[in-house]
Amino acid sequence: MKRLLIVATTVLMWAAAASAQPVLDGRASVSDGYGAALSVQNTNTQFGDGTAGDAVNGGFGSEIDQVFGRVANGRLYVTIAGNLEANFNKMEVFIDSVAGGVNTIDETALPVGVDAFCCGGLGTTDGALQRMDGLTFDTGFDADYLVSITNGYETVNPDLPDARRFWAVSAHYAELGEGTAGAVVAAGMQLAPRGMPNVLRFPGDYNDNGKVDAADYVIWKATEGDAVARGSGADADGSEVVDDPDYAIWVERFNDGTTLADFPFTPEDLALGVSEALIGPALPGLGQGELIDRNYALGAGGCTDDTGAGCIAGELEFALDVDPGEIGTNASSHRRFNNTIDLELAIDNSNDEGVTGAAPYTTPTTGNPQDVTTGIEFSIPLSEIGNPTGDISLTIFVNGGTHDYASNQWSGTGILDANLGGNGFGGYTGDLAGVNMNDFAGDQFVTVPNPGAGGGSAVPEPASALLILMAGFAACGLVRRR
Of 16, 83, 24, 98, nearest to 379 (Cα)? 24
Cα separation, 424 vs 438, in Å, equals: 15
Residue 430 burial by Cβ neighbours in a 10 Å radius (0-12, 13-18, 19+): exposed
Count other C-beta atoms under 10 Å from residue 60's C-beta.
16
Whether the full predicted model's pTM is greater than 0.85, yes or no, is yes
SS3 of the chain: the string is: CHHHHHHHHHHHHHHHHHHCCCCCCCECCHHHCCCCCCEECCCCCCCCCCCCCCCCCCCCCCEEEEEEEEEECCEEEEEEEEECCCCCCEEEEEEECCCCCECECCHHHCCCCCCHHHCCCCCCCCCHHHHCCCCECCCCCCECEEEEEEEEEEEECCCCCCCEEEEEEEEEEEECCCHHHCCEEEEEEECCCCCCCEEECCCCCCCCCCECCHHHHHHHHHHCCCECCCCCCCCCCCCCECCHHHHHHHHHHCCCECCCCCCCCCCCCHHHCCHHHCEEEECCCCCCCCCECHHHHHCCCCCCCCCCCCCCCHHHHHHCCCCHHHCCCCCCCCCCCCCCCCCEEEECCCCCCCCCCCCCCCCCCCCCHHHCCEEEEEEEEHHHHCCCCCCEEEEEEEECCCCCCEEEEECCCCCCCCCCCCCCCCCCCCCCCCCEHHHCCCCCCEEECCHHHCCCCCCCCHHHHHHHHHHHHHHHHHHHHC
Cα separation, 152 vs 148, in Å, equals: 14
Architecture of the domain whose range is 198-282: Orthogonal Bundle (1.10)
Q: pLDDT tens, position by position, for the chain (482 residues)? A: 455 444 445 444 444 555 578 999 999 999 999 999 999 999 999 999 999 999 999 999 999 999 999 999 999 999 999 999 999 999 999 999 999 999 999 999 999 999 999 988 889 999 999 999 999 999 999 999 999 999 999 999 998 888 999 999 999 999 999 999 999 999 999 999 999 999 999 999 999 999 999 999 999 999 999 999 999 999 999 999 999 999 999 999 999 999 999 999 999 888 788 999 999 999 999 999 999 999 999 999 999 999 999 999 999 999 999 999 999 899 999 999 999 999 999 999 999 999 999 999 999 999 999 999 999 999 999 999 999 999 999 999 999 999 999 999 999 999 999 999 844 333 445 677 789 999 999 999 999 999 976 543 334 444 444 444 444 444 444 333 33
Bridge-based pairing state of the strands 406-410 and 392-399? antiparallel
Task: Confirm if 74 and 383 have CB atoms less than 8 A apart.
Answer: yes
Q: What sign results for the dihedral spanned by CA atoms 296, 57, 267, 402? A: negative
Of 463, 461, 469, nearest to 17 (Cα)? 461
Bridge-based pairing state of the strands 198-200 and 279-282? antiparallel
Of 349, 336, 314, 376, nearest to 165 (Cα)? 314
Encode 379-399: b = buried (16+ Cβ within 10 Å), e = exposed. bbebebbbebeebbbbbbbbb
